[in-house]
Amino acid sequence: MHITILTFQGFNELDSLIALGVLNRIKKPGWRVTICCPEPEVTSMNGVTVRAQSTLEDATTADAVIVGSGILTRQIVSTPELMGRLSFEPERQLIAAQCSGTLILAKLGLLGNVPACTDLMTKPWVQEAGVEVLNQPFFAHGNVATAGGCLASSYLAGWIIAQTEGLEAASAALHYIAPVGEKDAFVDNALKNIKPYLRR
Amino acid sequence: MHITILTFQGFNELDSLIALGVLNRIKKPGWRVTICCPEPEVTSMNGVTVRAQSTLEDATTADAVIVGSGILTRQIVSTPELMGRLSFEPERQLIAAQCSGTLILAKLGLLGNVPACTDLMTKPWVQEAGVEVLNQPFFAHGNVATAGGCLASSYLAGWIIAQTEGLEAASAALHYIAPVGEKDAFVDNALKNIKPYLRR
């Protein structure tokens, strides 16, 4: 199981790295989570430089893809060279987008006429792309999921684990990252958001 | 205002980067937040390499210091060369520790006989260092704060903003990162954790 987290120049650190931390709670052979970038290194919206662990081309063959968020997403969707490197198949891959990542899925035509979640700033652009935006943190339809608000990236990661490893594994991963003294309440709320959209 | 986030080899991505994201919501001249490392680059517990933005020596003159967490903290506190580079003054600096970062503050003698928060795995080591561990996500006494559980790093960052820029600025920063549809509930809960420990 290879999960790529698409992380572009200007990325939002929380959106890529919370998902990465949650997903890496699964410790089993072959389970691999990578920061996936168009270049060998990318620098975040706040100046943090991280090194790529996989390429955009690797994402096309991954088992799951999370499209991260950032301050340059509108430029990305206007760059045919970059968009042309993004090729995903919801029939074969779990596909998830966080905040402005939803705009990328919308522009790739992967949301169809299904509603989606995104952050409050990206909302008008996703609507302009013809997609209904929900006032909730998480939504999924089949193999495609979207989330809005940085911390909802934990729900996105929880959904991927729940779909592939089961609800108990997702609960354990979310329990680990939750604040001490608030763990049960956090997990309960996360599962409340994820459960309606599970296919098993 | 310079805030350094101490980030060592084997670091927990959430603990360093959630705080960084929240703190960078403050947009004013002179407000600077940096990933602060013992080396030019560090690699996380899950293999993510980030580039340092400041040095451990910069942290000694910073206005605030967050000691991040990771899987190598017990080795760090057993390395006199590394511990000798950590020199903080709670009279002059806000000092905060996240999860296993609390063990570093304990070993530096910065917690005194005040209780602290940490993660469930580090808890016995902090207790062994003579510090009482609380079953809550956040605690502060004067200029020294501790938090336990990755997502409680948002409370730590919120506390630093509240102490320096006021409660309204902290609320706005926390509102931004919260999940869509859960923003008010998240901010209310965060402030409930932070407010009892504010000095103004």
Which tens digit of pLDDT belongs to each residue from B108-124?
Answer: 999 999 999 999 999 99
Do residue B149 and residue A18 have CB atoms under 8 angstroms apart? no
Residue B72 contacts A, CB cutoff 8 Å: no
CB within 8 Å of A6: residues ≥ 6 apart: A36, A37, A56, A59, A65, A66, A67, A68, A86, A101, A104
Q: Give the chain A residue nearest B27 (alpha carbons).
A: A46
DSSP letter for each residue of chain B: -EEEEE--TTB-HHHHHHHHHHHTT---TT-EEEEEESSSEEE-TTS-EEE-SEEHHHHTTSSEEEE--BTTHHHHHT-HHHHTT----TTTSEEEEETTHHHHHHHTT-STT--B---TTTHHHHHHTT--B-SSSEEEETTEEEE-SGGGHHHHHHHHHHHHH-HHHHHHHHHHHSPTT-HHHHHHHHHHHHGGG---
**A2-197: CATH topology:** Rossmann fold (3.40.50)
Reported as type and span, the H/E element at residue A1 is none
Q: Give yes or no for residue A142 having a pLDDT over 70.
A: yes
Question: Which of B20, B51, B137 is nearest residue A180 as measured by Cβ atoms?
Answer: B137
Task: Please write the tens of the pLDDT for every residue from B11-35.
Answer: 999 999 999 999 999 999 999 999 9
Select from A22, A37, A48, A51 the residue whose CB has the most chain B CBs within 10 Å, as the one to mutate to test that interface: A48
Residue A177 contacts B, CB cutoff 8 Å: yes
| b/e code B87-96 from CB counts within 10 Å (16+ = b) | ebebeebbbb
Domain boundaries, chain B: 2-197
> What pLDDT does B199 receive?
81
Q: 0.90 cut: is pTM over it?
A: yes
- Report ipTM for this prediction: 0.96
Q: Which residues of B touch A120 (CB under 8 A)?
A: 180
Residue A193's pLDDT band (cuts 50, 70, 90): very high
Q: What is the average pLDDT across B132-140?
A: 98
Count how many Cα atoms sit within 13 Å of the Cα of residue B78 in the half-sphere of its side chain: 5
Q: Which residues of A touch B117 (CB under 8 A)?
A: 180
Task: Please write the tens of the pLDDT for every residue from A104-114.
Answer: 999 999 999 99
Residues 74-133 of B with CB under 8 A from A: 117-120
Do residue A181 and residue B20 have CB atoms under 8 angstroms apart? no
Do residue A14 and residue B17 have CB atoms under 8 angstroms apart? yes
> What pLDDT does B200 receive?
55
Q: What is the average pLDDT across B131-159?
A: 98
Question: Which of B46, B119, B180 is nearest residue A24 as measured by Cβ atoms?
Answer: B46
Do residue B150 and residue A21 have CB atoms under 8 angstroms apart? yes
Q: What is the average pLDDT across B121-142?
A: 97
CB pairs under 8 A between A and B: 131
Question: Which of B48, B53, B182 is nearest residue A20 as measured by Cβ atoms?
Answer: B48
Q: Compute how many other C-beta atoms are within 10 angstroms of the C-beta atom of residue B53.
A: 20
A33: amino acid identity, one letter: V
Q: Whose structure tokens read 């919120």?
A: B158
Q: Which residues of B touch A45 (CB under 8 A)?
A: 24
> What pLDDT does B183 receive?
98
Residue B6, strand partner residues: B36, B67
Whole-angstrom CA distances from B14 to A17, A88, B36, B62 are 6, 27, 15, 22
Task: Please write the tens of the pLDDT for every residue from A16-57.
Answer: 999 999 999 999 999 999 999 999 999 999 999 999 999 999
Q: How far, in Å, CA of B107 to CA of B183, rounded?
A: 37
> What pLDDT does A148 receive?
98
Whole-angstrom CA distances from A55 to A4, A24, A71, A100 are 9, 19, 20, 20
Residue A71 contacts B, CB cutoff 8 Å: no
Task: Please write the tens of the pLDDT for every residue from B76-108.
Answer: 999 999 999 999 999 999 999 999 999 999 999
> Average per-residue pLDDT in chain B?
97
Q: Give the chain A residue nearest B35 (alpha carbons).
A: A48
Q: Give yes or no for residue A97 having a pLDDT over 90.
A: yes
Q: How far apart are the first and last CA of chain A?
A: 18
Residue A199's pLDDT band (cuts 50, 70, 90): confident
Q: How far, in Å, CA of A24 to CA of B128, rounded?
A: 29
> What pLDDT does A103 receive?
98
Q: Give yes or no for residue B186 having a pLDDT over 60.
A: yes
Q: Give yes or no for residue A200 having a pLDDT over 70.
A: no
Per DSSP, the three-state class of A108 is coil
Per DSSP, the three-state class of A138 is strand
Q: How far, in Å, CA of B62 to CA of B68, rounded?
A: 15
Question: Which of B118, B180, B193 is nearest residue A148 as measured by Cβ atoms?
Answer: B180
Do residue B150 and residue A176 have CB atoms under 8 angstroms apart? yes
